[in-house]
Homo-oligomer: A and B are copies of this chain.
Amino acid sequence: LRISQFGGEPAVIDLISRICDGQGRDDLVLGIGDDAALVQVPGDDLLIITTDLLIEGTHFRRDIIDPYSLGWKSVAANISDIAAMAGTPTYTFSSFALDDVEVDFVENLYQGMTDCAKKYGSRIVGGDTNISQGSQVINITQLGTAPAGQAILRSGAQPGDRLLVTWTLGDSRLGLELLLKFGLEKATDINICAVDAHLRPEPRIAEAKAAAATGKLHAMMDISDGLAADLPKMCAASGVGAIVDTLSRAISPIVRGGASGVGIDPTVLAVQGGEEYELLMAVPENAVDSVIKTVADATGTQVTAIGRITAERDVLIEGTDGSRTPLRGGWTHFEKQQ
Contact = CB atoms under 8 A, between A and B. Distances in A.
Interface string A109-138: 000000000000000011111111111010
Contact of A46 (B38, B81, B148): B38
Closest 8 A/B residue pairs (Cβ): A43-B43, A36-B50, A35-B84, A134-B135, A41-B41, A139-B139, A53-B95, A134-B134
Q: Which of A42, A48, A148 has the most C-beta atoms of chain B within 10 angstroms of its own C-beta?
A: A48
Q: Which of A3, A39, A43, A49 has the most C-beta atoms of chain B within 10 angstroms of its own C-beta?
A: A49
B155 A34 contact: yes
Using C-beta atoms within 8 Å of the partner chain, give the interface range for chain A.
35 or more
A81 B329 CA distance: 42
Interface string A188-209: 0000000000000000000000
A37 interface: yes
A268 interface: no
B237 A34 contact: yes
Contacts of A153: 30, 34
Q: Which of A12, A87, A146, A153 has the most C-beta atoms of chain B within 10 angstroms of its own C-beta?
A: A153
Given A9-B332, A49-B91, A51-B95, A38 B134 contact: no
Contacts of A50: 35-37, 126
22 contacts: A4-B336, A8-B332, A9-B334, A29-B151, A33-B237, A35-B81, A36-B48, A37-B50, A40-B148, A43-B43, A47-B47, A51-B95, A51-B126, A51-B128, A55-B130, A55-B133, A57-B132, A58-B132, A59-B130, A130-B333, A134-B135, A137-B137
A53 B130 contact: yes
Nearest to A59: B130
A335 interface: yes
A97 B55 contact: yes
Q: Which of A42, A84, A93, A97 has the most C-beta atoms of chain B within 10 angstroms of its own C-beta?
A: A97
A96 interface: yes
A126 B47 CA distance: 13
B34 A49 contact: no
Given A38-B151, A42-B43, A84-B36, A51 B8 contact: no
